[in-house]
Amino acid sequence: MFTAEGKKVIFTEKAPKAIGPYSQAIRTESMVFTAGQAGLDPATGELVEGGIEAQTRQTLTNLKHVLEASDSGLAYVVKTTVFLKDMNDFARMNAIYGEFFSQNPPARSTIAAAALPKNALVEIEVIALLKSHHGD
């Protein structure tokens, strides 16, 4: 159900619950705006083990689930913002990122962050179109 402001709050159990006063995503009539996701296991709320590669894979998997709950998907992402705790992890993050966005990748910004929630190594947020606006 959309609010009077024309937005719908998105929640899925397949991604970590919000750890503050924010939504996993907000859907409008044509777009989805996600909150930043980190490499948290939705079942435990803890970071996955395995360093930047494992955290990047879990982060993007979490985003995939949030997008799917929003009538969207990774193929519909138009913009991502990647926050890295250490820019030295860029190449390893980028290799995993490329597995998820192998064709027609979205526009992207990557920023070094002094610290991330729960001491995560990576956090990613996305803006995506809805499937329903493309006849899918």
Domain interval for residue 121: 8-134
Q: Looking at the domain assignment, is residue 117 inside a domain?
A: yes
Kindly state the DSSP code that residue 92 receives in the 8-state scheme.
H
CB 132 within 8 A of CB 71: yes
Retrieve residue 135's tokens: 């006849």
Instruction: Count structural domains, the chain.
Output: 1
Q: Looking at the domain assignment, is residue 14 inside a domain?
A: yes
Q: Looking at the domain assignment, is residue 19 inside a domain?
A: yes
Give phi and psi for 125, each to the nearest 5.
Answer: -125, 155
Q: Looking at the domain assignment, is residue 1 inside a domain?
A: no
Radius of gyration of the chain (CA): 14
Give pLDDT tens digits along the chain (136 positions): 666 678 999 999 999 998 889 999 999 999 999 999 999 999 999 999 999 999 999 999 999 999 999 999 999 999 999 999 999 999 999 999 999 999 999 999 999 999 999 999 999 999 999 998 665 5
Question: How many CB atoms lie under 10 A from the CB of residue 63?
Answer: 26
Q: Is the dihedral of CA 49, 55, 59, 60 positive or negative?
A: negative
Which pLDDT score is estimated for 5?
78
Which pLDDT score is estimated for 135?
54
Determine what percent of the chain falls in helix, strand and coil, rounding each to the nearest 5: 30, 25, 40
Which pLDDT score is estimated for 4?
67
Which pLDDT score is estimated for 6?
83
Q: Looking at the domain assignment, is residue 2 inside a domain?
A: no
CATH of the domain at 124: 3.30.1330.40
CA distance 43 to 103: 30
Q: Looking at the domain assignment, is residue 106 inside a domain?
A: yes
